[in-house]
Copies of this chain bind each other. A is one copy, B any other.
């Protein structure tokens, strides 16, 4: 029996999604609960990892179990045992050929940028940007990433076989002082959204030009894009299948 789950979590107090020895991770918390509920060690398979401090409203994972529990009862059994910073939004019994990672068609990430006065209650949930920013330039620069590109300059991990990804759209929702940058693509490399956001802000701040950003993209060399926007502004919103 394969179960597909959609989960939301506050990334603040996790060392990312994936199990790390001795550190608190989302995966460990969920697997610990599943072991109690299903009386068996369970391995969960997420659509992708998220880093320390990154949040999720729509992370997806699957797991297998011989035990058949209704979707509603499973959801309740898990949620009643999870800590307050993780919540299972839905449980669905799904066919065996579904795989949370390999079946994913596209993902939506949002990056929350705050251009207003610092607010200590939102420090873990937005990136407070304190420099003057030409938002029109940021929006204009974002267009160079739309479509299929080799994003080798915009990932931490150069070792993946294929660094070509297709970004369908980058939309800006402006509700001053909050700016939400919405990424939709077929997949994202490690740190890709955070590096792109950081480099777009370099353009908006006047540190580099759009032409220079194009050159960086075409160079396929991360050393030319050494910035990284902080994790707390990033949200995994949805995985589409």
Contacts and interface: CB of A to CB of B under 8 A. Distances in A.
Interface of A: 8-10, 55, 57, 79, 84-87, 89, 117-121, 123, 125
Contacts of A120: 8-10, 84-87
Contact of A121 (B55, B117, B119, B123): B55
Contacts of A118: 79, 87
A36 to B, nearest CB: 19
Nearest to A121: B10
Interface of A, secondary structure class, is loop
Contacts of A89: 117
Nearest to A123: B84
A84 B8 CA distance: 24
Contacts of A123: 10, 84-85
Contact of A8 (B8, B87, B121): B121
15 contacts: A8-B119, A8-B121, A9-B120, A10-B120, A10-B121, A55-B121, A57-B121, A79-B118, A84-B120, A84-B123, A85-B120, A86-B120, A87-B119, A87-B120, A121-B125
A85 B125 CA distance: 12
